[in-house]
Amino acid sequence: MAALLNIKGLSKSFSGLKAVQEVSFEVPAGEIVGLIGPNGAGKTTCFNLIAGVYRPDAGEIRLAGSRIDGWRPDQICRAGIGRTFQLVKPFAGLTVMENVIVGALNQVGSVRAAQGISEHLIEQLGLAGKRHAAAGSLTLPDRKRLEVARALATAPRMLLLDEVMAGLRPTETDRMVALFRDLNASLGLTILMIEHVMRAVMALSRRIIVLHHGQVIAAGAPDEVTRNPAVLECYLGEEAL
Amino acid sequence: MSGHWFDGVSPRAAKLLTLLCVALVLFPLIASDYLITVLILILYFAYVGQAWNLMMGFAGQLSLGHALYVGLGAYAAAALYVHFGVSPWIGLWAAMAIAAVAGGVIGFLALRFGVAGVYFAILTIAFAEFARLAFDHWPWVGGSAGFFLPVANYASNDLINLRGSPTMFYYLLLAMTAAALVSCHALLRSRAGYYWLAIRESPEAAQALGVDLFRYKMYVVVLSAAMTSLGGVIFAFYYNNLFPEQVFHISRSIELILAPIIGGIGTLFGPIIGAFLLTTLAEGLGELMRLLGIDVPGVKQVFYGLCLLVVVMFLPDGVWPPLARRLKLEQQRSQGLAER
């Protein structure tokens, strides 16, 4: 299958600290790929480079063949990449519904149509009872769900999920996993996810990429990667066996 | 049509609003000349406050130099009228265009060079000050000696040239304030309105959801500037004199933002209720001082300061949100947009 997202030689330093070095990987269309690694490995920096928050020092990012590196975040969103933030950024003073409408206005011009889309997504994410609550009043798990609903509302071809499972209870995690699996199966939504909750990563990913010190140290099928000694040493630990 | 206007307004609020409109329309029939001049002040501050609120309350862009747009609008329409006999109804388009360009230039510079937040506010002050100095030394519009419109014959109202009685200006301002309220209500429910609120709440999140920050910030700055300039046109034709020292002075910019701050930033009714409270209280205080025979210069400013202090300490959201709840005006279903 053709790669939807193609990353080649991506590098980014912050005042001398090499956060991401020569990272290359592909995310095939319609697949779910996990991006794992210890804290400070450069996962979120990688996301921010893809999403246009930072401009790469070197390397290329291609979406369906066209270069998108150096684009602004809103342009990248319009090109079809939706993202969530690890540190959630709800529009605190707006209601849940209004939050999602802002996302939905990326795919439709009229507010009425955006409301319809949002209503459906809020339902899907289990936020229906809170649709008129201020986003600032939500609990952390609900805020995570709101992040996902908002990103999905932009009608992305590809979704970047930054630790959306963190802080969720196991049953909630399973529900979220089921949702992504469903979106992937029904819409062919491509997902790249940063996740520490291995239960979710293993359940969803067809491929896993492991970052360590800003470099890719392993990539492949989940069972392959989890047996890789380098990965075990730096991230998963012996007990994962 | 009216059904569309009241979209998202609870029936109770719509009823009260209609009642208020009727009362304001009938007001000049019973009011004294003095009361009409007070109402004119209230409506003026409600109008320009609404225009400022568009930028700060909705999109979170703080301007402390809105006197610039008032002044540009006032001078543009007045100069066209005095020098070329152009009716203010045509002059107002020039006024809006000039203010929009000024707002656009400031917005562009700020956004191009990443001047945001407090620094943006300082930039707006700086431009108002530039204008003050420039107009002070521009003889074509009278320089620092002031620019005067031929004083009207109040016996007849000339609506075309805006020469006439305070009652005429009262109705004009009433129409403008109502139009501003209706347009802001509609804007808030449009795509741009949602994007402005999103930018106010979190620019990064807004951008990640496809909002072009530059474009939507420029929209709001330009729109607010143009809207404010219309207040300036009325200002010029109502007072008939313009002095750069007064029109562009920073105290004017501050005065203009007090109503929305006290009424409730980001609410549609805040600027109106704030203007009403501030102006009536300040005028009442002035009357009281006159009655008591006390003449203290600057007492109005001190009073404004106290009002601000009280509101900031006890009603940080302004007077309107708690009042709206008390009057049961917010819609049952949504606490969000309806309260605005």
Phi-psi sector, B240: left (phi>0), alpha (psi -120 to 50), beta: left
Write down the domain spans for chain A.
3-80+156-240, 90-155
Nearest to A91 among B202, B207, B213 (CB): B202
Q: What is the mean pLDDT of each run of 10 residues along chain B (340 residues)?
A: 55 86 90 92 97 95 96 97 94 97 96 89 95 95 91 73 88 96 94 97 96 96 97 95 94 93 92 93 85 81 84 88 81 43
Contact B189 A72 (CB under 8 A): no
Q: Is B54 helix (H, G, I), strand (E, B) or coil?
A: helix
ipTM above 0.90, yes or no: yes
In terms of Cα–Cα distance, which of A67, A40, A7, A61 is closest to A219?
Answer: A7
Tokens of A48: 């921010």
The DSSP H or E segment spanning A33 is strand A32-36
Residues of B in contact with A103 (CB under 8 A): 209-210
Q: Count CB pairs under 8 A between chains A and B.
A: 95
Whose tokens are 């996302």? That residue is A103
| CB burial of residue B99 (10 Å; 0-12, 13-18, 19+) | buried
b/e burial code for range B124-161 (CB count within 10 A of at least 16 → b): bbebbbebbeebeeeeebbeeeebebeebeeeebeeeb
In terms of Cα–Cα distance, which of B260, B268, B318 is closest to B66?
Answer: B260
CA pair distance B240, B227, nearest whole angstrom: 20
CA pair distance B99, B86, nearest whole angstrom: 18
| CB burial of residue A122 (10 Å; 0-12, 13-18, 19+) | buried
The CATH number of domain A3-80+156-240 is 2.130.10.10: no
CA pair distance A144, B254, nearest whole angstrom: 40
Tokens of B190: 């449009």
Nearest to B204 among A89, A106, A111 (CB): A89
- CA pseudo-torsion sign B27, B31, B33, B38: negative
Could you tell me if A232 and A238 are in contact, meaning their C-beta atoms sit under 8 angstroms apart? Answer: yes
Tokens of B210: 């496809």
Å between B329 CA and nearest CA of chain A: 16
Residue B16 is predicted with a pLDDT of 86
Could you tell me if A191 and A159 are in contact, meaning their C-beta atoms sit under 8 angstroms apart? Answer: yes
b/e burial code for range A52-79 (CB count within 10 A of at least 16 → b): bbbebeebebbbeeeebbebbbbebbbb
Residue B338 is predicted with a pLDDT of 42
Low-confidence ranges of chain A (pLDDT < 70): 1, 237-241
Å between A75 CA and nearest CA of chain B: 6
Å between A217 CA and nearest CA of chain B: 29
Residues of B in contact with A90 (CB under 8 A): 201-202, 205
The DSSP H or E segment spanning B266 is none
Contact B201 A94 (CB under 8 A): yes
Residues of B in contact with A134 (CB under 8 A): 335-336
Distances in Å between the Cα of B65 and the Cα atoms of B17, B92, B104, B131 are 31, 20, 14, 10
Q: CA triplet B104, B85, B96: central angle to 5 degrees?
A: 15
Contact A106 B204 (CB under 8 A): no
Å between B245 CA and nearest CA of chain A: 39
What does DSSP say about strands A190-194 and A158-162: parallel, antiparallel, or unpaired? parallel
Amino acid at A65: G
Amino acid at A158: M
Tokens of A62: 């291609």
- CATH code given to domain B2-326: 1.10.3470
Q: Is B44 helix (H, G, I), strand (E, B) or coil?
A: helix
| CB burial of residue B65 (10 Å; 0-12, 13-18, 19+) | buried
Distances in Å between the Cα of B149 and the Cα atoms of B9, B152, B171, B236, B239 are 42, 9, 21, 8, 9
Residue B330 is predicted with a pLDDT of 62
Contact B209 A85 (CB under 8 A): no
Contact A73 B333 (CB under 8 A): no
The β-bridge partners of A161 are A193
Q: Which of B10, B187, B190, B201 to mutate to test the interface with A (most CBs of A within 10 A)?
A: B201
Write down the domain spans for chain B.
2-326
Residues of A in contact with B111 (CB under 8 A): none
